[in-house]
């Protein structure tokens, strides 16, 4: 959903309309000859011609008094939505079902109970096929109301069956609601903290979520329930660093859609989230060949997904650019990756109202890592500063912490070390405040703090010593999470061997391809 920071919803709506939607609105609004010169149509044309909302220019160009403008905008807004609903009804199952329910209500009000019931029966079949459980319940409730008014015995034989269906649906809706709640709660936890950081975090997550998930069996769940179950399991294991298990559930998540392809368009956002979890798992497991295969498959989905609506196109492109950056980070192809950044940043700018802070921070961090790998430390710092300057400390606290650590390293590499001691103290204080100061971070900060005390002849040995001290942590249950954010080992190895980070990462990639 768009994150609007504009004050005029109708202006934003008009600017988001396609040419086909604008043309359809004009046809809809002028369907009656008396509407051709309507003031709300003139207001629409004025809004459409403006690049930015300017009330003074609007009042000059449109014959509307200032006190009339709020009501006129509200009327225009409603008319646009009505026209867009008519245009998009055939593309959206939920809208089709609501339309059928409205038609049934009209027939019911006319006393045509049999016709109303038959229309609802057809609508219920569609709702069941697409697992629109809430609408199916609404339809059944309507049917039960009709049953109380019909006198034909043959027509009342459905009563018991309808009651059983209602009970079954209530159970399904209840389970779906609980599973979707678990998924949302896990996602919210990830947005706040990232991965589990300690034994305390592990116990907190497992004690609260594991019993709630363990009581379910996939074999007894409907499609929608299974989607939320796999989604919850994928998030649960992802947060616990269990990427292999998270990947397995992401595979099951995608497989559900492959078996019911018509649900891809109905739940495209959830379908794309499945791809995101699938590819993130492969990225952190270092499975390059499989990652490249899945990315190719995702690329083939563009036309089908992006053709649904603007929101689907935005979500797809956001996922595509993010995973394309990951692909280049995987390969150590940082130079080519920096060229992608230009396109990705243009995409973010063009869709600024549609991309939330969390995803912007993720992109900025990937941009920074790409420029760091390409030895362009000043641009790396520019993007890290966008994360560091985030006003809300509760959004991706993990990224805010590691952005500060990477900023220290980039500042050192760029020669901007005149106030390095002050920066180190500030970063240390922030990590303590965020309760995210662990052994790896302490080792890194201590090393950077002592940089000015090392003799040039001893520097390479100090790098080797740090490398040896950090190496055991790469497989530590909790400390290893640092290496998901920062490829410190590749940086240290490049300094020790006197080569570039890109060369080190590329050798790792070649090894992954060969496996």
User: 3-state SS string over 231-253?
Assistant: HHHHHHHHHCCCHHHHHHHHHHH
Contact 348, 361 (CB under 8 A): no
Nearest of 303, 300, 359, 373 to residue 331 by alpha carbon = 373
Which residue ranges make up each domain of the chain? 9-90, 92-174, 197-331, 360-515
The answer to whether 462 and 449 are in contact (CB under 8 A) is: no
Which residue's entry shows tokens 């896990």? 186
How many CB atoms are located within 10 Å of the residue 496 CB? 16
Distance of CA 340 to the CA centre of its chain: 20
At residue 148, what are phi and psi to the nearest 5 degrees?
A: -70, -15
Tokens of 225: 């329930």
Question: CA distances (Å), 330 to each of 17, 152, 161, 248, 380, in order?
Answer: 38, 69, 56, 21, 18
Question: With contact defined as beta carbons under 8 Å apart, do 137 and 170 qualify?
Answer: yes
Q: What is the pLDDT of residue 226?
A: 96
User: pLDDT by residue (tens digit) across 245-287?
Assistant: 999 999 999 999 999 998 998 899 999 999 999 999 999 998 9
pLDDT score at 148? 80
Q: Are 463 and 496 in contact (CB under 8 A)?
A: yes
Q: What is the distance between the alpha carbons of residues 171 and 458, in angstroms, rounded to a whole number? A: 69
- Helix then strand then coil, in percent of the chain rounded to 5, is 80, 0, 20
Name the CATH topology of 197-331. Answer: 1.25.40
Neighbour tally for 79: CB within 10 Å:
19
Closest CA to 410 of 443, 455, 377: 377
Tell me if 27 sits within 8 A of 44, measured CB to CB. no
Query: Measured between alpha carbons, how far is 449 from 453 in angstroms, rounded to an integer?
Result: 9
- The alpha carbons of the chain give a radius of gyration, in whole angstroms, of 28
Q: Which helix (H) or strand (E) holds 377?
A: helix 377-388
Helix orientation angle between 397-414 and 420-433, rounded to the nearest 10 degrees? 170
User: What is the per-residue pLDDT for 23?
Assistant: 93
Q: What is the 3-state secondary structure (H, E, C) of 46-100?
A: HHHHCCCCCHHHHHHHCCCCCCCHHHHHHHHHHHHHHHHHHHHHHHCHHHHHHHH
Task: Please name the residues in contact with 119: beta carbons below 8 A apart, sequence gap of 6 or more.
Answer: 100, 103, 104, 107
Distances (CA, A) of 365 to 44, 371, 404, 407, 489: 40, 10, 11, 11, 18
Quick one: which of 372, 373, 374, 366 has its CA closest to 347?
366
- The segments of the chain whose pLDDT lies below 50 read 1-5
3-class SS at 108? helix
How distant is the alpha carbon of residue 234 from its chain centre? 15
Which 8-state DSSP code applies to residue 487? Answer: -
Strands (E), 248-364: none
């Amino acid at each position: 959903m768009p994150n609007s920071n504009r004050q005029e919803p109708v202006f934003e709506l008009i600017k988001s309309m396609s040419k086909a939607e604008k043309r359809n609105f004009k046809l809809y609004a002028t369907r009656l000859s008396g509407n051709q010169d309507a003031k709300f149509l003139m207001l629409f044309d004025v809004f459409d011609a403006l690049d930015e909302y300017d009330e003074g220019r609007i009042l000059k160009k449109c014959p509307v008094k200032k006190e009339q403008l709020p009501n006129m905008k509200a009327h225009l807004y409603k008319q646009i939505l009505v026209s867009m609903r008519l245009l998009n009804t055939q593309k959206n199952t939920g809208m089709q079902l609501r339309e059928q329910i409205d038609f049934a209500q009209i027939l019911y009000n006319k006393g045509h109970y049999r016709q109303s019931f038959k229309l609802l029966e057809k609508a219920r079949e569609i709702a069941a096929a697409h697992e629109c459980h809430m609408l199916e319940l609404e339809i059944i409730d309507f049917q039960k109301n009709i049953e109380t008014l019909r006198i034909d015995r043959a027509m009342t034989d459905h009563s018991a069956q309808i009651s059983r269906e209602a009970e079954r649906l209530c159970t399904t809706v209840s389970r779906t609601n609980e599973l979707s709640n678990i998924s949302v709660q896990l996602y919210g936890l990830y947005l706040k903290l990232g991965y589990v950081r300690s034994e305390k975090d592990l116990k907190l997550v497992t004690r609260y979520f594991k019993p709630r998930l363990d009581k379910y069996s996939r074999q007894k769940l409907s499609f929608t329930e299974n989607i939320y179950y796999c989604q919850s399991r994928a998030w649960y294991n992802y947060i616990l660093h269990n990427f292999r298990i998270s990947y397995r559930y992401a595979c099951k998540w995608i497989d559900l859609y492959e078996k019911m392809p018509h649900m891809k368009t109905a739940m495209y956002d959830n379908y794309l989230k499945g791809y995101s979890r699938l590819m993130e798992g492969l990225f952190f497991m270092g499975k390059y060949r499989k990652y490249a295969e899945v990315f190719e498959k995702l690329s083939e989905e563009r036309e089908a997904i992006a053709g649904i609506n603007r929101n689907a196109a935005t979500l797809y492109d956001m996922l595509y650019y993010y995973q394309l950056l990951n692909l280049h980070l995987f390969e150590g192809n940082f130079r080519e990756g920096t060229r992608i950044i230009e396109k990705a940043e243009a995409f973010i700018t063009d869709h600024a109202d549609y991309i939330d802070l969390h995803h912007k921070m993720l992109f900025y961090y990937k941009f920074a890592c790409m420029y760091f790998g390409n030895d362009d430390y000043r641009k790396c710092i520019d993007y890290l500063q966008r994360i560091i300057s985030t006003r809300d400390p509760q959004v991706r606290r993990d990224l805010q912490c590691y952005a500060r650590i990477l900023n220290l390293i980039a500042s050192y590499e760029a020669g901007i070390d005149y106030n390095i001691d002050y920066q180190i103290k500030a970063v240390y204080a922030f990590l303590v405040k965020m309760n995210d100061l662990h052994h790896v971070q302490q080792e890194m900060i201590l090393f950077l703090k002592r940089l000015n005390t090392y003799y040039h002849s001893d520097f390479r040995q100090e790098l080797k010593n740090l490398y040896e001290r950090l190496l055991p942590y790469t497989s530590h249950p909790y400390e290893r999470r640092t290496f998901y954010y920062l490829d410190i080992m590749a940086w240290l190895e490049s300094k020790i061997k006197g080569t570039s980070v890109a060369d080190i990462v590329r050798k790792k990639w070649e090894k992954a391809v060969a496996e």
